[in-house]
Amino acid sequence: MALSLVARHQVQRLVASQARCYSSSMIPVKRLGVIGAGQMGLGIALVAAQKAQVDVTIVDTSEASLSKGLAFADKLLAKDVAKERITQDEADTARSRLSVGTSMEKLTEVDFVIEAVPEIPELKFSIFKELARICQPHAVLATNTSSISITKIAAATTKNPKEFWADDRVVSTHFMNPVPVQKGVEIISGLQTSQETLDRAIAFCKAMGKVASVSTDAPGFLANRILMPYINEAIICLETGVGDRDSIDSIMKNGTNVPMGPLQLADFIGLDTCLAIMKVLHNETGDSKYRPSILLGKMVDAGWLGKKTGKGFYDY
């Protein structure tokens, strides 16, 4: 009797699980893949090369972004040498571990991959569908998403599976920005994520010198579920005249001992990113307390996105 579709899927999962149990226990993370050569992706790659001492392949569709990313890496390493945080030999060794490419086919041999592209759901879904096709069956497939459901991203890997199912290898490693400075990383499991995948993600982040916090797949996870409403409320206070920009930031800096006020922090995060996350929180929970500030939307419409565009709540 022919196996039903469900039965075939169960057999595929069993075969994949057995293969991974063998391979992942025998193969440590020696090579990392990073998708996206922006500030986050480059930061992740550089810290992995320095702290975890692994070879890193950075993939981006833009040659210009790759060149800019490597130049940024050189600048950060030179700064660390100048401040005597590392030696020149250590900087040279870390830099030698970084390689780049424009095709995801360069990731076929990695043991762990971290996607760090813009928060566009369909883009991430397409990337993970491709990763499921090309990566080794033991490789952990991680996303740096700050707001998109891990369960939805994992589900994208089950579209037209070939030999191995990959949805239980998907996890989020949400690094805090800037990665070389901030120690925190939020690790989020989707509904499909296996305990083995979660354990490997925690272990690798620790090898990168990070402090891991674990959360479930809920809108905003932990960091943004707490942080973004705080920033959004500060913007509402500004737009409704409760206080001016400097007073809002000053009271939080001098009253709660945070290094920067909420409006300045929003500029550093990017107002477009703040708006996108607030929309996810609002849409997925249906709770009016997550309604994005009208002023925040207007500033994004104006192209005033914060530090990266030279203008936000402050001028840069």
Please report the domains of the chain, with CATH numbers, ordered by start residue. 31-216 (3.40.50.720), 224-309 (1.10.1040.10)
pLDDT of residue 26: 46
Please report, in tens digits, the pLDDT of each residue of the chain (316 residues total). 444 444 444 444 444 444 444 444 546 899 999 999 999 999 999 999 999 999 999 999 999 999 999 999 999 999 999 999 999 999 999 999 999 999 999 999 999 999 999 888 999 999 999 999 999 999 999 999 988 999 999 999 986 555 557 899 999 999 998 899 999 999 999 999 999 999 999 999 999 999 999 999 999 999 999 999 999 999 999 999 999 999 999 999 999 999 999 999 999 999 998 998 999 899 999 999 999 999 999 999 999 999 999 999 999 9
Give, to the nearest 10 degrees, the angle between helix 271-285 and helix 294-302.
Answer: 140
Eight-class DSSP state of 157: G
Could you identify the residue written with the tokens 């890997």? 157
Tell me phi and psi for residue 211, to 5 degrees: -105, 115
Q: Which residues are catalytic?
A: 146, 174, 186, 224
Binding-site residue positions for NAD(+): 36-41, 60, 119, 124, 146, 177, 308
* Nearest residue to 201 (alpha-carbon basis) of 213, 183, 216: 213
pLDDT of residue 160: 56
pLDDT of residue 177: 86
Helices of type H across 4-87 = 5-26, 39-47, 63-82
